[in-house]
Each structure stands twice: as structure tokens, then as C-alpha cells.
Amino acid sequence: MARVDLHLHSTASDGQLSPAEVVARAASREVTVVALCDHDTVAGYAEALAAGETCGVRVVLGVELTCWDSGRSVHLLGYGCQPDHPALSSAMAQRTAFRQRHLSRLTARLTELGLPISMEQVAALAGADSIGRPHLAAAMVEAGHVPDVKAAFDQYLRRNRPAYLLPDQELPVREACEAVRAAGGLAVLAHPALDRAWQRLGEYASYLDGLEVYHPAHTPELVRQFSADAVRHNLLLTGGSDNHGPQRPPDIGEVELPAEQWERLAAALSDVGRTDPS
């Protein structure tokens, strides 16, 4: 029986392991189907796919797009997209530009607070990977402003902390869903409990294909609630560990998508040629 984890991150965005290492770790934990869902990039997909062929792990293309609605972030998972489709590429490029602008504003804010950090320092830590706030937090550690990444977020970067700023540019949820679908993918609302996005599910459902029901932030009660919501709105159920590396639990495969739900999702992908050959 397949063991399925459809929400993993690598060094292509804010994970700790390379795409190949993510797949190898999944194989070592007897996970047979994975999706790399790095933030606003599919740069790690080719490496993950090649590793999957070596390790015997099926790799589904995934991406996690950050959207905004009414001042709150909403995360959208896209599965099975054509990685070079113009609509998806445009959405990812837009998000990258927004993120870099936002990080520039955050570094300026930190400097105002007496914690100088340059964008060059942040970019150097990100390397060729998708730059984000975890790299800014790492730069703060490197500069000696905070003892560790957790302290950077807890003391400065989280909502209601001194350096927190709302983005001044946003990718709307509907626009992101349309980009994923135009690229031949399935649009799935990620971890609805984290973002309180479930409160807007009735609005989003008409342009969604699925709902991430199984997630570390979801209690058994929430899993039951979101499962019922998915059925009511005729949405596929998805799930995964949202693992970012061995030092950031839960580990790969500790939160799984049940096999029967994977079969439904795989069939939906195959119906329109969206899945990778096994």
C-alpha cells in the first residue's frame, strides 16, 4: 500500500535538505509518494524527480504559492502543473518580486530598530534558492542580533512583533488558483486552520480542486470537520507533513494522506494528464 506525503519543502525554498535528500529521506522512511511543495518555486522538481527514479519514490510536481486576502496570508498548493507553463511561471515570478520588495522593507525596518541587515547578506544565505523570511532570520543570527532563527521570528518577525509588516503587494487567491489550473494543475487550499482560511472556504470553493485536510496543525476534530467541508464542496482531500527538514518536525511521513484519498487524487491528476509516470 502506498504511503503518501504531499507537502514537503527543500533548500529550493526554506527547507533544510536538498530536493534529492528529501526524496532519499522519504525512501528511508518507506514513503512511496511525495510532492515537493517549495514556496513559489518548482526549481527543485527536476532534481527530486531524478532522485525518485533512483530511490523508487514517485514524485508529483508541487508548489506552494503565498496569497493574501483581507490582510492575512493564504497558502495555495498546486499539484501536477506543467512546470514551465507561462501562467504558473508568471505567478511565481510575481510572488518572487513581491517577496524581494517585502524583504527590502523588512531590512529597512530592522535597521530602524537598531538591527542592521542588508539585502546582500540575506541573498548570500539564500544562494540560488527562493529567498524568504527564514533567510532574513538566518542573517539576523549570523549578525549576532538574535541567538537563533526561532528567536528572530518570536521577537521580531511574527505578526504583532516590532519588525512585522504587511505586504504592500498581494497575489489574490483566485488569481493563483487560475494560474495553477491554466498550467494543468489542481489548486488546493493549504493548512486551512493555520491561516483561518477555512472561514472563507465557501468563497474559495468555486475555484479550488481540493482541501489539505491532513496536516500537523489539524487535530482529529479538525480533520473530521475539514473532511466534511471537502465533501460538501466536492473537493479532493490532500495532506502531508509540511516537513522542512529533520530538525523541524514532524518528520516525513508522520502525517500522511490515506491511500484511498491518494487514489482519488491520482485519478484526478491522470484524468487530465497531470501526473508523472510511475
**Grid cell in block for residue 190:** 493549504
What's the pLDDT score for residue 129? 65
Residue closest to 254 by CA, chosen among 230, 228, 218: 218
Mean pLDDT in consecutive groups of 10 residues from the start of the chain, 278 residues: 95 93 98 97 97 97 92 92 96 90 94 95 81 90 95 94 88 95 97 88 95 97 97 98 92 97 95 52
Name residues whose C-beta falls within 8 Å of residue 205's C-beta, 6 or more positions apart in sequence. 233, 235
Helical H segments across 19-85, by residue range = 19-28, 45-55
Beta bridge partners of 65: 76
The DSSP symbol for 252 reads: T
With beta carbons less than 8 A apart as the criterion, state whether 25 and 53 touch.
Answer: no
Please, is 247 exposed, middle or buried when counting C-beta atoms within 10 Å of its C-beta (0-12, 13-18, 19+)? Answer: exposed
3-state DSSP assignment of residue 140: helix
Q: What is the pLDDT of residue 277?
A: 40
What does the pLDDT read at residue 211?
A: 98
The pLDDT value recorded for residue 197 is: 85
Looking at residue 80, the DSSP 8-state letter turns out to be S
pLDDT (0 to 100) of residue 73: 87
Residue-range domains of the chain with CATH? 4-88+171-271 (3.20.20.140), 93-157 (1.10.150.650)
What is the DSSP pairing of strand 186-189 with strand 72-79? Answer: antiparallel
Output the pLDDT for position 269: 92
Q: What gap in Å lies between CA 220 and CA 213, rounded to an integer? A: 10
Q: To which residue does cell 525554498 refer?
A: 13
